[in-house]
Amino acid sequence: LHFVFSIRFLNVVENLYPYVCRLMISTYLAMKTFLESAKAKLNKQYKAMKPEAITTTVGLNIGKAVFDGVELNFWDLGGQKELQSLWDKYFAEAHGVIYIIDSSDQSRIEESLDAFEKALKNKTLNGVPVVIVCNKQDIKECMSVSDVKMALREIIKKLGTRDCSLFPVSALHGNNVLASISWLVKAIKKNSDYRPPS
């Protein structure tokens, strides 16, 4: 499913950055394109994979980037149903959630929302900020942001007092990739009293 899990603050042994964030990602192609776009935007020397070369994650991929003095460690976990049982192993250390919706694939939205809601019911994610990314907004037939909000309305009611924001994104073109990451990093820093660095 189009899901990014969990940013974690760590103490940095080398003291190079005030925070290190570990970003666990559970994904099909929508997230992988987002991750590639983010790495390219955050590191000008990084050469992103061409979209046609991106394949579904099976197992784990790892990526790193620095944003606003924060080192982000991306853990790209497979989103296939049989791999979802591993997700909760990372929740206790999560400091943020990026939930990616492939807005061009309406046939899978219900499955994606079910996995998202199930993850948010885990008590270890209480109070953790969430950014919802409506990816593939560059595709003509995609769901509009208002359609996505309607699909999410019941889940959003259950988010409680945590910070939450929604961004229309085209990872392919890089639109709003940095804005969504920036919002989440700020929300995580603001939330550090509730969930301090480990």
* Residue 23 and residue 3 in contact, taking contact as beta carbons nearer than 8 Å: no
Residues annotated within a binding site for Mg(2+)? 57
Q: In whole angstroms, what separates CA 32 from the centre of its chain?
A: 10
* Residue 8 and residue 92 in contact, taking contact as beta carbons nearer than 8 Å: no
- Cα–Cα–Cα angle for 3, 184, 106, rounded to 5 degrees: 30
Residues annotated within a binding site? 57, 79, 135-138
Q: CA-CA distance, 115 to 141, in Å (whole number)?
A: 24
Identity of the amino acid at 33: T
- Pairing relation of β-strands 3-5 and 19-27? antiparallel
User: Left if phi > 0, otherwise alpha if psi is -120 to 50, otherwise beta: which for 160?
Assistant: left
* Residue 39 and residue 46 in contact, taking contact as beta carbons nearer than 8 Å: yes
Residues annotated within a binding site for GTP? 79, 135-138
- Gyration radius of the chain over CA positions: 15
